[in-house]
Amino acid sequence: MTVFRTFLKVLNKCKTPIIMYTVFLIFFGGFNIQTSDNSTNFTASKPDILIINKDCEKGITKNLIHYIEKNSNIIDIENKEEKINDALFYRDVNYIIYIPDHFREDFLNHKNPKIEVKSTGDYQASLAEMMLERYMKIANTYNKNLSSEKKIIKNIDDTLSKQAKVEITSKLDTDHLEKATFYYNFTNYCLLAGCIYVICLILSSFKNEHIQKRTIISSMNYKEYNRKLLLSNSLFSIVLWLFYVLLSFILLGNIMFTLHGLIYIINSFVFTLCALTLAFLLGNLVSNKNAINGIVNVIALGSSFLCGAFVPMEYLPNSVLTIAHILPSYWFIKTNELLKTIESFNLETIKPIILNMAVIVIFTIIFVVITNIISSKKRKIN
């Protein structure tokens, strides 16, 4: 009990960083996990478009704006060039359309007026450009053939109303699963940083020369002391894990009560054990309290960035992912990403998940073995 009580005392001293990591998790998690209604109907992606209309809103101009409005999210931004440019840079809008002065007049006089655009050059912008190009192409075509503006507009509307049927085959709740994956990927950072920081700090407190000497002469068996220390540390890790799991129930809701949710939880548990043993290893290696902060940041941030905890795996360059194979976080996050795509669980779909978990367990064993080797060597020196 003495060991455990001391453990709690030291733990109480380092609550600030734990609270900080948790706040990060809630903040970023909550930021991205605003649940929206999921539907199994097809919803077309809508690019964010800003229209700067220098012409009056009549006739063909009005119709063009109306068409763009219907198929995109119109973003309202103060009409100042600097604000508009900022919005484009930070991808608040994907595409900006400047409708020139006398657009309608020039169009009807067959001048094919020039439309200036600004584009972020990404998927959404390409889609917006397709939309604008299509409209203008149709309008120009009818303009050659028909005389009155009314007729042109009617024909444009008639043509654009021809749509394709879309059928969705998957009944997977991808929206919620994606959020769950994002959340659990982020816990990679929180669990690693939390475990390493706290356990290293606690171990280094216990390794203080005076305290160590005092412990050695005490009546408590050396092994028992060690076992209790390990137990308290695992208890801490599990409490931390439980806390994040509970938080996920609050933030993610129903999706956690499914089989998918269960596997997210099991996966994170396996990873927590791995983080615990890694922290134990580091705690045995490092005795300088000041160095802990640096190590936590390098290891937790490093494996989070390399393995796709912050930036989704699909965006990472292949070379980085290849390096990431040597980190346990990679296998943890890989399972989370896999879960997102699995529709039904059977032996075939669950096999890669079990394989990933096995790799994490192997890492755990390796960490334990190395810790034992190091601590036994250190004891000999003493």
Per-residue interface string for the shown chain with another protein, residues 74-113, x marking contact by CB under 8 A: --------xx-xxxxxxxx-----x-------------xx
Nearer to another protein by Cβ, of 253 and 302: the residue is: 302
In the block, residue with structure tokens 């749509």: 163
Q: Which of 12, 79, 148, 163 binds another protein (CB under 8 A)?
A: 163
What gap in Å lies between CA 298 and CA 63, rounded to an integer? 56
Asked if 266 interacts with another protein (CB under 8 A), we say no
* Residue 189 · residue 309 · CB < 8 Å: yes
Q: Which of residues 26-65 bind another protein (CB under 8 A)?
A: 28, 31, 42-45
CB of 267 to another protein, least distance (A): 22
Task: Rule CB under 8 A: say whether 158 interacts with another protein.
Answer: yes
Using CA atoms, how far residue 379 sits from 222, 223, 314, 375, in Å, is 12, 13, 46, 6
Pick from 75, 19, 66: nearest CA to 47: 75
The binder of another protein chosen from 51, 74, 136, 230 (CB under 8 A)? 136
For another protein, which residue of 13, 58, 70, 134 counts as binding (CB under 8 A)?
134
Nearer to another protein, 290 or 382 (CB): 290
Strand 95-99 relative to strand 48-53, pairing = parallel
Smallest separation (angstroms) from another protein to the CB of 109? 14
Tokens 């119709």: give the residue.
63
Query: Cα-flanking dihedrals φ and ψ of residue 283, to 5°?
Result: -60, -30
Of 296-335, binders to another protein (CB under 8 A) are 297-298, 301-302, 305-306, 310-311, 314-317, 320
Do the beta carbons of residue 24 and residue 187 sit within 8 Å?
no
- Does residue 337 touch another protein according to CB under 8 A? no
Minimum distance from CB of 90 to another protein (Å)?
4
| Contact status: 132 vs another protein (CB under 8 A) | yes
Let me know: does 12 contact 205? Beta carbons within 8 Å. no
Is position 8 an interface residue for another protein (rule: CB under 8 A)?
A: no
Spatial contact of 213 and 337, defined as CB atoms under 8 Å apart: no
Bin 208: left if φ > 0, else alpha if -120 < ψ < 50, else beta: beta
Q: How far is the CB of 201 from another protein (least distance, A)?
A: 13
Under the binding rule (CB under 8 A), the answer on residue 72 touching another protein is no
Total residues binding another protein (CB under 8 A): 81
Q: Is 120 among the residues that bind another protein (CB under 8 A)?
A: yes
**Tokens representing residue 236 in the block:** 């801490």
Per CB under 8 A, the segment of 166-174, 197-205, 225-233, 235-243 that binds another protein is 166-174
Half-sphere exposure of 209 (CA within 13 A, CB side): 2
What token pair was written down for 39?
């539907």
